[in-house]
Each structure stands twice: as structure tokens, then as C-alpha cells.
């Protein structure tokens, strides 16, 4: 691991769950697992992370504390119901009693869903985030969860849902239950120091867009709106630093805060950026944060009539001149600094799939939060503009 270049903030938070925040705090993983009531944890991570030293170190910490951890790493970049079924089978076969969700958003989402589904008898699709469908679950069948993010993007560590792709129709579904919220989170920025630049960029832009869409959503939630504004400031100030200097522990720490802030803020809502990005990711297996960043300018431009005044206030807070256009210029400059692909063509997204993506976007649960009502024609126009 690269040596940190400067200092990281340290704090104990409740946001909205117990968060142990600070460099080196992964050493507290065994204690956190004990505190969550877990005696035989299953560590859920992705295939790439499973082979890295930080995962081996985490397993050694648990093993040295007598916790006899298992390991499941069958997690795709866009986790599917097949991944979930395999994880649940692994959990049951190992007679585990809790999950350590360890990794980026995909691993965290799947780990939470494994802890949820291992004690349910109904299909996972019966618990989609629709109305009060979550009440169908048996809450006594939900295992405790400890989360340790290794990226700074989705904020899934402080979320009450997981995104799973249906492998039959390639539609992403949000699976929700209040008890999916991890009992304890360890946010250790040292775990993110080794992230490759493309992952730093994609996850960082995801955090920014969570905050941005929450801020622009028309629903009333002033607490989330305030959190979103400060989250965007942190990304503006620290994502370029984290990207340019991977061992900048202060920048990494503030990006971990911004990621968690985005996930808390989007209780207010998301919008067309996510509604378009979800089907693209499900169909083309693109990185979620990068896909968000690619379609963001087109969605902002199309939503300008409804958000111009709000963006003007946001730009002033962020010390950006030029109101809405100045903010849009900042977004384009930030994408360029982070080497984000210029458009959907660069992601390999075929124009022939735009109609299907537009149709899928309309029924995505995030579509309703867009400040301008999303129609099939508008979704198609956004895709064309993002090409």
C-alpha cells in the first residue's frame, strides 16, 4: 500500500447508521463484527478484489479473532440474480450468521442482498422498491451486516437497498428493506488508495451525481438537499486531487464522506441520469458511475427550464461564475480532467438500442424524480445528445 501523504479526519458518526471513519480503522473489523452479533461471517466481495492484499488482510483480521470467515467473490460489476442465488447458497452451506460486505457498490449491494435473501422464501423480485412491497419480507430472516467500502462512489454502505439485474430481461431492480442498512460501517480511506484512476473517476462522479440529482429532485426534503450541496463541494475540491495523487489520504477521506452523503441525500430522489444509466449498464455492462457521467450533460441541458434557478444558487455556493452555463462548463471540465469518455459511442452503446433504453428508462424507479417529466421522446433525445 502506498504511504499516505497527509492527514485524514477521524470521527465516530451516526449517519444514518454507526460509521467508524478514519485511516487505519479497518483494524476494528473484528470488533465491529462482534458488536453486530456475528460469529461466523461471510465476506462478500468481487472477483478482482478477492485476489488483492486488502481482502486477504481483512480475512486474516477476522480469522485471528476466531471468527472463521467464509469468502464469496462471485460478484459481477453489475450484480445479477444469478450472483445473488450463488451467494445465498454459499451463505447457507457455510452456516454463516452474518455478512461482511467488502468492496465497491456492486459487492456492497450483493452482500446486503445475500444477508436479506438467505432468510426469505419468496422471490427477490417480490421485494422491489415499489410501494410497501418491503413489508412482504420476514424481518427475522435478515442477517446482520457490517460494511467496509473500498471505493468512494455509491454510498451503498449507508443505504437500505441493493440494485440487482434480472438476468432474463436485463432490467435493473432496486431491492429495498429498512433492515438491509448495515449495522456498522467502517470507512477507512486507506482501503481506497490503490484504486485505479478509471475507478476513482467513475466512483467519484457517481457520488457527485447522487448529490446533484437529489438536489434537483422536485420533492421536499431540505435535510437531504443540504447534505447534497456540501457533498458536491467535497467532490469539486477533492476528486481531482484523489485522481491526480492516488495516495492523497485527505482527498480520499473526503471522497468517502461525499459518497456516503450522496446515498443519504438521494432519499429525496434521483432522476433521468440514473434512469438512462441503469438500462445501459444492464445491457452493456458499463461502469455505472462512468455511464452516469456520460449522460449527465445531456440530462442537465434538457432539464434546464426546471432547474436553472436552483443550479444558479448551487453555482454560487461552489464559487462558480456564470450561473447554469458556468455550472455546465464546470461539469464538462471535470469530466475532461477525469478522462471520462466523450459519449455513448465511446462506451460501445449502439444507436439501435436507444429506443429500448428509452422505454426501460421510463419504468426505472428513478425516473419519477426527474425535475422535467420523462417521456419516451425526451429520453430518446437525451440519448441522442449524449451520443
Residue pLDDT, tens place only, 225-245: 999 999 999 999 999 999 999
**Could you tell me the three cell numbers for 201?**
473517476
Q: Using 50, 70 and 90 to split pLDDT, how confident is the model at 5?
A: low
321 — alpha (psi -120 to 50), left (phi > 0) or beta? Answer: beta
pLDDT bracket for residue 12 (50, 70, 90): confident
Given the C-alpha cell 471505493, which residue does it identify? 151
Quick one: pLDDT at residue 4?
53
Please tell me the predicted confidence (pLDDT) of residue 1: 47
Strand extents, DSSP E, the chain: 11-14, 18-21, 41-44, 70-72, 98-103, 145-149, 161-166, 171-176, 184-187
| Mean pLDDT, the chain, whole residue set | 95
In this structure, what are the phi and psi dihedrals at residue 375, rounded to the nearest 5 degrees? Answer: -115, 170
Cβ proximity of 259 and 154 under 8 Å = yes
Q: Does domain 11-191 have CATH number 3.30.980.10?
A: no
Q: Which residues contact 72 (CB under 8 A, 6 or more apart)?
A: 42, 43, 44, 45, 86, 87, 90, 91, 114
pLDDT digits (tens, 9 = 90+) for 25-63: 999 999 999 999 999 999 999 999 999 999 999 999 999
Res. 139: pLDDT tops 50: yes
Nearest to 72 by CA among 81, 85, 57, 61: 85
Determine the pLDDT at residue 47. Answer: 93
> If you classify domain 195-385 with CATH, what class do you get?
mainly alpha
Rounded Cα distance between 172 and 166, Å, is 6
Residue 87: the pLDDT is 98
CA-closest candidate to residue 161, choices 121, 226, 204, 116: 116
7 pLDDT exceeds 80? Answer: no
Q: Are 276 and 382 in contact (CB under 8 A)?
A: yes
pLDDT digits (tens, 9 = 90+) for 347-359: 999 999 999 999 9
pTM: 0.93
Where are the chain's structural domains?
11-191, 195-385
Cβ atoms < 10 Å from Cβ of 220: 8
**What is the reported pLDDT for 194?**
83
Mean pLDDT of 325-337: 98
Buried b (16+ CB within 10 A) or exposed e, 107-126: bbbbbbbbbbbbbbeeebee
Residue 379 has pLDDT above 90, yes or no: yes
> Which percentage of the chain shows pLDDT scores above 70?
98
- Parallel, antiparallel, or unpaired for β 70-72 and 98-103? unpaired
- Would you place residue 9 in the very low, low, confident or very high pLDDT band (cuts 50, 70, 90)? confident
10 Å CB burial of residue 321 (0-12, 13-18, 19+) is: exposed
Amino acid at each position: 500500500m502506498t504511504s499516505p501523504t497527509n492527514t485524514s479526519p477521524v470521527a465516530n458518526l451516526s449517519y444514518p447508521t454507526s460509521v467508524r471513519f478514519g485511516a487505519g480503522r479497518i483494524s476494528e473489523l473484528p470488533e465491529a463484527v462482534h458488536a453486530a452479533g456475528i460469529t461466523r461471517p461471510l465476506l462478500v466481495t468481487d472477483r478482482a478484489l478477492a485476489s488483492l492484499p486488502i481482502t486477504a488482510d481483512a480475512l486474516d483480521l477476522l480469522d485471528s479473532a476466531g471468527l472463521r470467515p467464509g469468502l464469496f467473490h462471485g460478484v459481477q460489476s453489475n450484480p445479477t440474480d444469478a450472483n445473488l442465488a450463488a451467494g445465498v447458497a454459499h451463505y447457507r452451506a457455510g452456516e454463516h450468521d452474518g455478512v461482511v460486505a467488502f468492496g465497491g457498490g456492486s459487492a456492497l449491494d450483493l452482500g446486503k442482498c445475500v444477508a436479506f435473501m438467505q432468510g426469505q422464501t419468496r422471490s427477490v423480485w417480490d421485494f422491489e422498491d415499489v410501494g410497501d412491497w418491503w413489508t412482504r419480507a420476514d424481518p427475522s430472516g435478515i442477517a446482520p451486516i457490517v460494511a467496509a467500502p473500498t471505493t468512494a462512489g455509491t454510498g451503498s454502505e449507508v443505504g437500505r437497498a441493493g440494485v440487482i439485474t434480472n438476468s432474463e430481461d436485463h432490467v435493473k431492480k432496486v431491492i429495498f428493506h429498512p433492515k438491509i442498512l448495515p449495522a456498522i460501517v467502517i470507512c477507512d480511506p486507506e482501503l481506497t488508495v490503490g484504486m485505479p484512476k478509471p475507478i476513482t473517476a467513475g466512483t467519484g462522479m457517481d457520488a457527485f451525481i447522487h448529490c446533484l440529482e437529489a438536489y434537483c429532485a422536485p420533492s421536499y426534503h431540505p435535510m437531504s438537499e443540504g447534505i447534497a450541496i456540501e457533498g458536491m463541494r467535497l467532490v469539486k475540491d477533492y476528486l481531482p486531487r484523489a485522481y491526480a495523487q492516488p495516495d492523497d489520504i485527505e482527498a480520499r477521506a473526503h471522497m468517502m464522506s461525499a459518497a456516503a452523503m450522496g446515498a443519504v441525500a438521494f432519499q429525496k430522489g434521483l432522476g433521468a441520469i440514473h434512469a438512462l444509466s441503469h438500462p445501459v449498464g444492464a445491457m452493456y455492462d458499463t461502469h455505472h458511475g462512468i455511464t452516469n457521467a456520460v449522460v449527465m450533460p445531456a440530462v442537465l441541458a434538457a432539464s434546464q427550464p426546471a432547474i436553472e434557478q436552483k443550479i444558479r444558487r448551487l453555482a454560487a455556493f461552489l464559487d462558480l461564475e456564470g450561473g447554469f452555463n458556468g455550472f455546465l462548463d464546470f461539469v464538462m471540465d471535470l469530466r475532461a480532467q477525469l478522462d471520462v469518455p466523450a459519449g455513448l459511442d465511446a462506451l460501445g452503446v449502439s444507436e439501435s438500442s436507444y429506443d429500448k433504453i428509452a422505454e426501460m428508462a421510463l419504468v426505472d424507479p428513478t425516473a419519477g424524480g426527474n425535475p422535467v417529466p420523462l417521456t419516451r421522446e425526451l429520453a430518446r433525445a437525451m440519448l441522442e445528445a449524449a451520443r
